[in-house]
């Protein structure tokens, strides 16, 4: 390598050399030279002497050989990492399950004069109709299947309608309910899942062209748990390719409030379908905003559970230490009805812990310890007036709000390399094979380039990032221990990144509109495994404000 290279040309040359060392070349291991390692070291911030380089060479070649051997293993995305993230701080005690949640179904529910109005009936209302046999699950399922077929193409939000499976489940539910075997509020209720969850016999496309014909001979644990609760799987819904954004191999999922606008992602179809009344609820996933963001854009309620509460068995892996599965519905209590079913160990996902989900519908929310991140609310940003109105609402409800000082001296933004490294590992076969060129989005910040660039993240930096993350877990839990709930703008400061790294639960709930009539949201954070109290506060606030009852005019049948 010529020593007089300068500026961007020199950096580019170093990248070529490091790419060589990272395995993006057909050159042989024995072709790695002292100059190769010297220039790669400069890119990594090191300057080695001649003696140091000579002593390093056998180990460098050995590491490259090890990398080639690992590549040859051709790891499937379903193979998890042996390294497990534990979000529990020192001395943390897991909540113990206190019994079944006493759900209260409304007693005065009747069939609407206009059958289309069923599109926006809540889960409790639908459950009351089903339990009292005022409608059959088969009738209800056919209704939602028709809406999925009628509007799915408009929204570009449906990948596969699971008609045969749904009708069989619905008929089974009708037989059980008629025989007095009622399984709970989800019994006979249709729903959808983000298309990164495997369902045996149906494609699981991950939203990406290279996998559009993929059929996985397995059914995800969360789907099996919902099967056991009697829920009816009606559709597999769109997601941004490999869990980024709202662009998938079939198009761009639309926002029901404005079809010129995307629904955001990556749980794009799940949020859009619920918003448009195509389904009462759906499952989404979040690694870094993929429940919060589409729930915000589509004006629905999304619950991101604590890391380790819900099994990811049968789900596409993006980041083993950050991925979380959660419900999207129109209200917090409906999300809680779903979370109760999918909560808990399944013997498959090793990250799960046995923690109780103790939601109390009768909890007095004025007894809750509620904080708000004052500095975030004081900033000038779109939606600030709506966010501050939430604080006024809570105060008017009798909730005492205490100011929370949010700030950490740790390099939080740098910890994004954890996501980049893990996602690149999850799809390394796609990168090495060149299959990443088939992905629709090839922009600078799209997955193909992020996967390639992540090959240059040193393993030492990845490990040290997780050590910093351990410190962050302790600091955030020290902050959270004095509060049952913290209220924050959904995109305030770095809270979305921080709480996804630490595994804390969150509920994003609609709280108004921009001047252009696009939905906004507010976020409520909870302690680890403290979703029950968060649901209680959000339920009370939603009953007070009514924001969750708003419907996109294009899909409102009333």
3-state secondary structure 435-492: HHHHCCCCCCCCHHHHHHHHCCCCHHHHHHHHHHHHHHHHHHHHHHCCCCEEEEECCC
Residue 132 reports pLDDT greater than 90: yes
Mean of pLDDT values over 211-240: 98
Q: What is the pLDDT of residues 265-291, one digit of tens each?
A: 999 999 999 999 999 999 999 999 999
Is-contact 81 422, C-beta < 8 A? yes
Residue 7 reports pLDDT greater than 60: no
Mean of pLDDT values over 369-392: 97
Other Cβ atoms within 10 Å of 34 Cβ, number: 14
Burial 395-428 (b: 16+ CB within 10 A, else e): eeeebeeeebebeeeeebeebebbbbbbbbbbbb
Residue 18: band (very low, low, confident or very high) from pLDDT cuts 50, 70, 90:
low
Structure confidence at residue 1 (pLDDT):
28
Q: Is 523 helix (H, G, I), strand (E, B) or coil?
A: strand
Kindly state the greatest CA–CA separation across the chain: 86
Residue 61: band (very low, low, confident or very high) from pLDDT cuts 50, 70, 90:
confident
**SS3 sequence of 51-114:** HHHHHHHHHHHHHHHHHHHHHHCCCCCCCCCCCCCCCCCCCCCCCCCCCCCCCCCCCCCCCCCC
Structure confidence at residue 16 (pLDDT):
54
Residue 389 reports pLDDT greater than 80: yes
Phi then psi for residue 259, to 5 deg, are -70, -10
Residue 2 reports pLDDT greater than 60: no
Residue 4: band (very low, low, confident or very high) from pLDDT cuts 50, 70, 90:
very low
Residue 49 reports pLDDT greater than 50: yes
Residue 392 reports pLDDT greater than 80: yes
The residue that leads in pLDDT, 516 or 528, is 528
Catalytic residue positions, numbered? 194, 266, 290
Residue 27 reports pLDDT greater than 60: no
Mean of pLDDT values over 351-371: 97
Give dist(CA 299, CA 511) in Å, integer. 8
Structure confidence at residue 300 (pLDDT):
98
Structure confidence at residue 14 (pLDDT):
52
Percent of the chain with pLDDT over 90: 84
Structure confidence at residue 220 (pLDDT):
98
Q: What is the pLDDT of residues 462-489, one digit of tens each?
A: 999 999 999 999 999 999 999 999 999 9
Mean of pLDDT values over 486-502: 98
Structure confidence at residue 57 (pLDDT):
87
Q: Look at 55-59, 155-159, 293-297, 505-509 and tell me which has the smallest mean pLDDT.
A: 55-59
Q: Boundaries of CATH 3.90.1300.10 in the chain?
A: 116-352+363-409+466-549
Fold of 116-352+363-409+466-549: Amidase signature (AS) enzymes (3.90.1300)
Q: What angle do CA 94, 95, 101 make, to 5 degrees?
A: 150
Structure confidence at residue 62 (pLDDT):
86
Is-contact 349 311, C-beta < 8 A? yes
Residue 10 reports pLDDT greater than 80: no
Q: Look at 46-50, 92-96, 206-210, 331-335 and tell me which has the smallest mean pLDDT.
A: 46-50
Residue 31 reports pLDDT greater than 80: no
The H-assigned helical ranges of 370-456 are 374-377, 384-396, 416-426, 428-433, 447-454
CA-nearest of 224, 263, 261 to 240 is 263
Query: What pTM was computed for the model?
Result: 0.93
Q: Which residues pair with 254 in a beta bridge?
A: 262
Mean of pLDDT values over 34-50: 85
Chain-wide mean pLDDT for the chain? 93
Mean of pLDDT values over 28-48: 81
Q: Mention every residue, 6+ apart, whose C-beta is less than 8 A from residue 91.
A: none
Residue 13 reports pLDDT greater than 60: no
Is-contact 288 300, C-beta < 8 A? no
Structure confidence at residue 217 (pLDDT):
97
Residue 9: band (very low, low, confident or very high) from pLDDT cuts 50, 70, 90:
very low
CA-nearest of 494, 524, 490 to 384 is 490
Structure confidence at residue 70 (pLDDT):
83
Structure confidence at residue 3 (pLDDT):
34
Q: What is the pLDDT of residues 104-121, one digit of tens each?
A: 999 999 999 999 999 999
Structure confidence at residue 8 (pLDDT):
45
Give dist(CA 122, CA 337) in Å, integer. 11
Percent of the chain with pLDDT over 70: 95
Residue 545 reports pLDDT greater than 90: yes
Give dist(CA 272, CA 266) in Å, integer. 11
């Amino acid at each position: 390598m010529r020593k007089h290279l300068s500026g961007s040309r020199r950096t580019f040359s170093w990248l070529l050399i490091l790419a060589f060392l990272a395995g993006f070349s057909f050159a042989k291991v024995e072709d790695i030279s002292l100059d190769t390692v010297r220039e790669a070291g400069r890119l990594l911030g090191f300057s080695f002497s001649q003696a140091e380089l000579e002593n390093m060479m056998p180990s460098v070649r050995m590491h490259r050989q090890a990398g080639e051997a690992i590549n040859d293993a051709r790891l499937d995305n379903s193979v998890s990492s042996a390294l497990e993230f534990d979000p529990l701080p020192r001395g943390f005690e897991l909540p113990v399950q206190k019994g079944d949640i006493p759900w209260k179904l409304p007693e005065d529910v009747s069939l609407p004069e206009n059958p289309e109005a069923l599109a926006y009936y809540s889960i409790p209302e639908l459950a009351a109709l089903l339990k009292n046999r005022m409608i059959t699950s088969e009738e209800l399922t056919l209704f939602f299947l028709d809406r999925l077929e009628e509007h799915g193409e408009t929204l570009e939000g449906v990948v596969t309608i699971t008609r045969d499976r749904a009708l069989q489940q619905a008929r089974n539910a009708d037989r059980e309910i008629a025989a007095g075997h009622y399984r709970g509020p989800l019994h006979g209720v249709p729903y959808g899942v983000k298309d990164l969850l495997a369902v045996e016999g149906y494609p699981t496309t991950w939203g990406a062209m290279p996998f559009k014909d993929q059929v996985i001979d397995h059914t995800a644990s969360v789907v099996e748990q919902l099967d056991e609760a009697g829920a009816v799987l009606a559709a597999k819904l769109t997601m941004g390719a490999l869990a980024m954004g709202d662009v998938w191999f079939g198009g761009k999922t639309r926002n029901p409030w404005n079809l010129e606008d995307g629904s955001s992602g990556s749980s794009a179809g799940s949020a859009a379908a619920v918003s448009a009344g195509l389904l009462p609820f759906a499952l989404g996933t979040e690694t870094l905003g993929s429940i919060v963001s589409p729930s915000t854009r589509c004006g629905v309620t999304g619950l991101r559970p604590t890391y380790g509460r819900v099994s990811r068995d049968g789900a596409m892996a993006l980041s083993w230490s950050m991925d979380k599965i959660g419900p999207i519905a129109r209200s917090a209590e409906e999300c809680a009805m779903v979370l109760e079913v999918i909560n808990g160990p399944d013997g498959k996902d090793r990250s799960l812990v046995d923690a109780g989900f103790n939601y109390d519908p009768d909890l007095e929310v004025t007894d809750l310890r509620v904080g708000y991140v004052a500095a975030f609310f004081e900033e000038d940003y779109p939606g600030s007036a709506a966010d501050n109105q939430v604080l006024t609402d809570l105060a008017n409800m009798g909730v005492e709000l205490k100011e929370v000082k949010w700030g950490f001296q740790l390099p939080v933004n740098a910890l994004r390399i954890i996501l980049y490294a893990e996602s690149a590992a999850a799809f390394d076969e796609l990168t090495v094979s060149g299959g990443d060129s088939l992905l629709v989005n090839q922009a600078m910040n799209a997955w193909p380039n992020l996967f390639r660039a992540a090959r240059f993240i040193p393993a030492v930096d990845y490990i040290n990032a997780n050590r910093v993350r351990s410190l962050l877990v302790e600091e955030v839990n020290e902050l959270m221990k004095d509060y049952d709930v913290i209220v924050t703008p959904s995109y305030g400061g770095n809270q979305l990144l921080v709480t996804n790294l630490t595994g804390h639960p969150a509920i994003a709930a609609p709280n108004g509109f921009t001047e252009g009539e696009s939905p906004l949201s507010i976020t409520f954070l909870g302690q680890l495994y403290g979703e029950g109290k968060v649901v209680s506060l959000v339920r009370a606030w939603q009953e007070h404000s009514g924001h969750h009852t708003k419907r996109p005019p294009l899909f409102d049948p009333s």
